[in-house]
Amino acid sequence: MKTTITWTGQMAFSGMTPSGHEIKMDAAPEVGGQNSGARPMELLLHAVAGCTGIDIISILRKMRLNPTSFHMEVEGTRAEDHPRRFTHIHIHYALEGELPENKVIRAIQLSKEKYCSVSHSLNAEITASYSINGVAGKEKI
């Protein structure tokens, strides 16, 4: 995989992903940016969520299960000192539909432990929780 990112002025950069999608990045105004794009660390949280979300939908479909709704709330904690990396990322998976809890737990575990290449590319501690049809799950993942 290869991509090119181009500086577009001030603190902004733009690039085209290998799949043909444009991504714009910029810094906050207080550090010289103009807020014309997402922060790189924001994109990293989105990448973790997108990766694990794709895994979970794929795994559930292989189990012949189809969520009617699915969203994730992702919270990242960063170190105080530079390079201010993520030290902890928590993902709450909220699913709706006819989904047996043990199958949802298994899908989350498989994504977390085996399949999510983005999270495996980080050294942050990644934890997870879940809810099905608005009911919080009790099992630790």
Which of the residues in the chain have pLDDT under 50? Answer: none
> What is residue 55's predicted lDDT score, i.e. its pLDDT?
98
Which of the 8 DSSP states describes residue 38?
B
> Is the Cβ–Cβ distance between 78 and 94 less than 8 Å?
no
- Give the CA-trace dihedral at 74, 79, 84, 90, to 10 degrees: -10
pLDDT of residue 141: 86
CA–CA distance from 64 to each of 18, 67, 87, 104, 111 (Å)? Answer: 31, 10, 35, 12, 17
59 DSSP 8-state letter? H
CB count within 10 Å of CB 89 equals 21
Q: pTM of this prediction?
A: 0.91
Q: What is the pLDDT of residue 139?
A: 87
